[in-house]
Amino acid sequence: MKTGKAKLFRGYDQNSNLSIFVDKDITMLSKDLVIKSIDTLPQEFTIDELIEQHDVNDEIKLFQIIRDDEPLENYTFKKLTECVDTLSWLMPFRNGGYFKGEKNPPPEEVKDRFFEETCARDGRRNFVLSPNQRINIDLGKLNRLFKKKRFGIQSAGQLGTAFKPSGDIRACILKSGIMIAQTPPDTKEEIKDSVFEIYRSIMVDGLDLPHDILPDIN
Protein backbone atom coordinates (compact mmCIF):
# COMPACT_ATOMS: atom_id res chain seq x y z
CA MET A 1 0.00 0.00 0.00
CA LYS A 2 2.81 2.38 0.82
CA THR A 3 4.52 1.61 -2.45
CA GLY A 4 1.26 2.22 -4.27
CA LYS A 5 0.79 5.55 -2.53
CA ALA A 6 4.38 6.52 -3.27
CA LYS A 7 3.91 5.70 -6.92
CA LEU A 8 0.65 7.58 -6.90
CA PHE A 9 2.27 10.65 -5.32
CA ARG A 10 5.26 10.41 -7.65
CA GLY A 11 2.84 10.27 -10.57
CA TYR A 12 1.05 13.31 -9.20
CA ASP A 13 4.35 15.18 -8.82
CA GLN A 14 5.34 14.30 -12.37
CA ASN A 15 2.00 15.52 -13.68
CA SER A 16 2.39 18.70 -11.65
CA ASN A 17 5.87 19.31 -13.01
CA LEU A 18 4.63 18.61 -16.51
CA SER A 19 1.77 21.06 -16.12
CA ILE A 20 4.21 23.71 -14.84
CA PHE A 21 6.42 23.25 -17.89
CA VAL A 22 3.38 23.33 -20.18
CA ASP A 23 2.09 26.47 -18.47
CA LYS A 24 5.49 28.12 -18.90
CA ASP A 25 5.56 27.18 -22.57
CA ILE A 26 2.03 28.47 -23.09
CA THR A 27 2.88 31.69 -21.25
CA MET A 28 6.02 32.21 -23.32
CA LEU A 29 4.11 31.39 -26.50
CA SER A 30 1.31 33.77 -25.55
CA LYS A 31 3.77 36.60 -24.87
CA ASP A 32 5.50 35.91 -28.16
CA LEU A 33 2.19 36.00 -30.01
CA VAL A 34 1.19 39.25 -28.30
CA ILE A 35 4.51 40.88 -29.20
CA LYS A 36 4.27 39.68 -32.78
CA SER A 37 0.64 40.79 -33.07
CA ILE A 38 1.59 44.26 -31.83
CA ASP A 39 4.38 44.46 -34.38
CA THR A 40 2.01 43.45 -37.18
CA LEU A 41 -1.00 45.56 -36.22
CA PRO A 42 -2.77 47.05 -39.25
CA GLN A 43 -1.62 50.55 -40.13
CA GLU A 44 -5.17 51.75 -39.55
CA PHE A 45 -4.67 51.52 -35.77
CA THR A 46 -1.57 53.70 -36.00
CA ILE A 47 -3.40 56.19 -38.23
CA ASP A 48 -6.24 56.45 -35.70
CA GLU A 49 -3.80 57.28 -32.91
CA LEU A 50 -1.86 59.84 -34.95
CA ILE A 51 -5.05 61.64 -35.97
CA GLU A 52 -6.32 61.84 -32.41
CA GLN A 53 -2.98 62.93 -30.87
CA HIS A 54 -1.99 65.33 -33.66
CA ASP A 55 1.25 67.19 -33.26
CA VAL A 56 3.96 68.06 -35.78
CA ASN A 57 5.67 64.69 -35.38
CA ASP A 58 2.36 62.91 -35.87
CA GLU A 59 1.88 64.74 -39.16
CA ILE A 60 5.25 63.54 -40.44
CA LYS A 61 4.58 59.95 -39.35
CA LEU A 62 1.10 59.97 -40.88
CA PHE A 63 2.31 61.22 -44.26
CA GLN A 64 5.07 58.59 -44.25
CA ILE A 65 2.50 55.84 -43.68
CA ILE A 66 -0.05 56.85 -46.29
CA ARG A 67 2.34 58.09 -49.01
CA ASP A 68 1.60 56.35 -52.35
CA ASP A 69 -0.94 54.06 -50.67
CA GLU A 70 -4.41 54.94 -51.99
CA PRO A 71 -6.42 52.62 -49.65
CA LEU A 72 -4.67 54.10 -46.59
CA GLU A 73 -5.17 57.63 -47.94
CA ASN A 74 -8.89 56.94 -48.36
CA TYR A 75 -9.06 55.45 -44.85
CA THR A 76 -7.28 58.51 -43.43
CA PHE A 77 -9.67 60.99 -45.05
CA LYS A 78 -12.61 58.95 -43.79
CA LYS A 79 -11.23 59.07 -40.24
CA LEU A 80 -10.62 62.80 -40.54
CA THR A 81 -14.33 63.35 -41.18
CA GLU A 82 -15.03 61.57 -37.89
CA CYS A 83 -12.28 63.39 -35.98
CA VAL A 84 -13.20 65.92 -33.30
CA ASP A 85 -10.65 68.46 -34.58
CA THR A 86 -10.89 67.96 -38.34
CA LEU A 87 -10.09 71.59 -39.22
CA SER A 88 -6.65 71.44 -37.60
CA TRP A 89 -5.61 68.85 -40.20
CA LEU A 90 -6.60 70.92 -43.24
CA MET A 91 -3.44 73.03 -43.44
CA PRO A 92 -1.02 70.09 -42.97
CA PHE A 93 -2.72 68.20 -45.79
CA ARG A 94 -2.79 71.33 -47.95
CA ASN A 95 0.90 71.91 -47.35
CA GLY A 96 1.52 68.23 -48.02
CA GLY A 97 0.11 68.67 -51.52
CA TYR A 98 -2.96 66.50 -51.05
CA PHE A 99 -5.37 69.14 -52.36
CA LYS A 100 -3.53 69.81 -55.63
CA GLY A 101 -5.54 69.41 -58.80
CA GLU A 102 -3.26 66.74 -60.26
CA LYS A 103 -3.71 64.73 -57.05
CA ASN A 104 -7.44 64.44 -57.64
CA PRO A 105 -9.31 62.81 -60.54
CA PRO A 106 -10.67 65.14 -63.24
CA PRO A 107 -14.41 65.85 -63.11
CA GLU A 108 -16.54 63.52 -65.17
CA GLU A 109 -18.72 64.95 -67.86
CA VAL A 110 -22.39 64.74 -66.93
CA LYS A 111 -24.60 63.82 -69.84
CA ASP A 112 -27.92 65.61 -70.06
CA ARG A 113 -30.93 63.35 -69.92
CA PHE A 114 -33.89 65.01 -71.62
CA PHE A 115 -36.20 62.02 -71.34
CA GLU A 116 -36.52 59.78 -68.29
CA GLU A 117 -38.98 57.18 -67.14
CA THR A 118 -39.50 55.92 -63.59
CA CYS A 119 -42.08 53.77 -61.86
CA ALA A 120 -44.21 54.87 -58.91
CA ARG A 121 -44.94 52.59 -55.95
CA ASP A 122 -48.40 51.72 -57.21
CA GLY A 123 -47.03 50.73 -60.62
CA ARG A 124 -47.87 53.98 -62.39
CA ARG A 125 -45.35 55.15 -64.97
CA ASN A 126 -43.75 58.59 -64.58
CA PHE A 127 -42.25 60.42 -67.55
CA VAL A 128 -40.03 63.49 -67.43
CA LEU A 129 -39.50 65.38 -70.70
CA SER A 130 -37.11 68.34 -70.89
CA PRO A 131 -36.46 70.72 -73.79
CA ASN A 132 -33.03 70.52 -75.45
CA GLN A 133 -32.58 74.26 -74.92
CA ARG A 134 -33.13 76.65 -72.04
CA ILE A 135 -36.52 78.28 -72.45
CA ASN A 136 -38.88 80.41 -70.41
CA ILE A 137 -42.53 79.67 -71.06
CA ASP A 138 -45.23 82.34 -70.93
CA LEU A 139 -47.52 80.66 -68.40
CA GLY A 140 -50.42 82.94 -69.27
CA LYS A 141 -50.24 81.82 -72.88
CA LEU A 142 -49.86 78.21 -71.72
CA ASN A 143 -53.00 78.35 -69.57
CA ARG A 144 -55.02 79.89 -72.41
CA LEU A 145 -53.80 77.07 -74.64
CA PHE A 146 -54.96 74.47 -72.12
CA LYS A 147 -58.41 76.01 -72.00
CA LYS A 148 -58.56 76.00 -75.78
CA LYS A 149 -57.53 72.34 -75.89
CA ARG A 150 -59.96 71.55 -73.08
CA PHE A 151 -57.18 70.25 -70.85
CA GLY A 152 -58.51 70.36 -67.31
CA ILE A 153 -56.34 72.74 -65.28
CA GLN A 154 -55.95 71.37 -61.75
CA SER A 155 -53.72 74.12 -60.37
CA ALA A 156 -51.79 77.07 -61.75
CA GLY A 157 -48.95 78.97 -60.09
CA GLN A 158 -45.92 81.13 -60.78
CA LEU A 159 -43.67 78.15 -61.58
CA GLY A 160 -45.99 75.96 -63.63
CA THR A 161 -49.41 74.44 -64.28
CA ALA A 162 -50.80 71.02 -63.40
CA PHE A 163 -53.40 69.66 -65.83
CA LYS A 164 -55.19 66.54 -67.13
CA PRO A 165 -54.76 66.13 -70.88
CA SER A 166 -56.88 62.97 -70.77
CA GLY A 167 -58.87 60.89 -68.32
CA ASP A 168 -55.99 58.58 -67.35
CA ILE A 169 -52.96 60.88 -67.72
CA ARG A 170 -51.99 63.65 -65.30
CA ALA A 171 -49.21 66.10 -66.04
CA CYS A 172 -47.48 69.29 -65.01
CA ILE A 173 -45.49 71.74 -67.13
CA LEU A 174 -42.98 74.03 -65.46
CA LYS A 175 -41.97 77.48 -66.60
CA SER A 176 -38.65 75.98 -67.73
CA GLY A 177 -40.47 73.76 -70.25
CA ILE A 178 -40.07 70.53 -68.30
CA MET A 179 -43.15 68.31 -68.33
CA ILE A 180 -43.76 65.59 -65.75
CA ALA A 181 -46.50 63.13 -66.66
CA GLN A 182 -47.98 60.18 -64.79
CA THR A 183 -49.84 57.38 -66.53
CA PRO A 184 -51.60 54.19 -65.40
CA PRO A 185 -49.46 51.03 -65.03
CA ASP A 186 -49.70 50.30 -68.75
CA THR A 187 -46.77 48.32 -70.14
CA LYS A 188 -47.63 49.09 -73.76
CA GLU A 189 -45.14 51.23 -75.66
CA GLU A 190 -47.97 53.37 -77.06
CA ILE A 191 -48.43 55.12 -73.70
CA LYS A 192 -44.96 56.64 -73.98
CA ASP A 193 -45.75 57.82 -77.50
CA SER A 194 -49.00 59.34 -76.24
CA VAL A 195 -47.16 61.34 -73.57
CA PHE A 196 -44.61 62.55 -76.12
CA GLU A 197 -47.39 63.60 -78.52
CA ILE A 198 -49.06 65.63 -75.75
CA TYR A 199 -45.74 67.38 -75.08
CA ARG A 200 -45.13 68.00 -78.79
CA SER A 201 -48.61 69.41 -79.35
CA ILE A 202 -48.15 71.86 -76.47
CA MET A 203 -44.59 73.01 -77.17
CA VAL A 204 -44.52 73.07 -80.97
CA ASP A 205 -48.13 73.36 -82.14
CA GLY A 206 -49.42 75.41 -79.24
CA LEU A 207 -46.50 77.63 -78.15
CA ASP A 208 -44.84 77.87 -81.59
CA LEU A 209 -41.46 76.66 -80.31
CA PRO A 210 -39.00 75.04 -82.76
CA HIS A 211 -39.26 71.28 -83.24
CA ASP A 212 -35.60 70.73 -82.37
CA ILE A 213 -36.21 71.54 -78.70
CA LEU A 214 -38.05 68.22 -78.33
CA PRO A 215 -36.14 65.43 -76.58
CA ASP A 216 -35.26 62.15 -78.25
CA ILE A 217 -37.32 59.42 -76.60
CA ASN A 218 -35.77 56.48 -78.47
**What distances in angstroms separate CA 58 from CA 48, 85, 93, 94, 198, one per listed residue?**
11, 14, 12, 16, 65
Per-residue model confidence (pLDDT) at position 32: 42
Residue 28 covered by a domain: no
Looking at the fold, whether 171 and 192 belong to one and the same domain comes out as yes
If 0-12 CB within 10 Å is exposed, 13-18 middle and 19+ buried, where does residue 89 land?
buried
Looking at the fold, whether 132 and 202 belong to one and the same domain comes out as yes
Looking at the fold, whether 169 and 146 belong to one and the same domain comes out as yes
Residue 32 covered by a domain: no
Residue 37 covered by a domain: no
Per residue in 181-213, pLDDT (tens digit) is 999 887 777 888 899 999 999 999 999 999 999
Looking at the fold, whether 136 and 205 belong to one and the same domain comes out as yes
Measured distance CA(218)–CA(201) in Å, rounded: 18
Residue 51 covered by a domain: yes
Residue 13 covered by a domain: no
How many domains, in total, are found in the chain? Answer: 2
Measured distance CA(154)–CA(137) in Å, rounded: 18
Residue 130: Cβ within 10 Å count: 21
Residue 86 covered by a domain: yes
Looking at the fold, whether 132 and 178 belong to one and the same domain comes out as yes
Per-residue model confidence (pLDDT) at position 45: 65
Residue 24 covered by a domain: no
Per-residue model confidence (pLDDT) at position 37: 36
**What distances in angstroms separate CA 207 from CA 54, 86, 107, 142, 144, one per listed residue?**
64, 54, 37, 7, 11
Looking at the fold, whether 159 and 87 belong to one and the same domain comes out as no
Looking at the fold, whether 125 and 204 belong to one and the same domain comes out as yes
Query: Does the CA dihedral 85-90-93-99 come out positive or negative?
Result: positive
Per-residue confidence band for 110, with pLDDT thresholds at 50, 70 and 90? low
Q: 128: domain CATH number?
A: 3.30.310
Residues 6+ apart with CB under 8 A from 92: 59
| Domain hosting residue 95, numbered range | 43-103
> In terms of pLDDT, which residue wins out, 44 or 32?
44
Per-residue model confidence (pLDDT) at position 113: 73
Residue 99 covered by a domain: yes
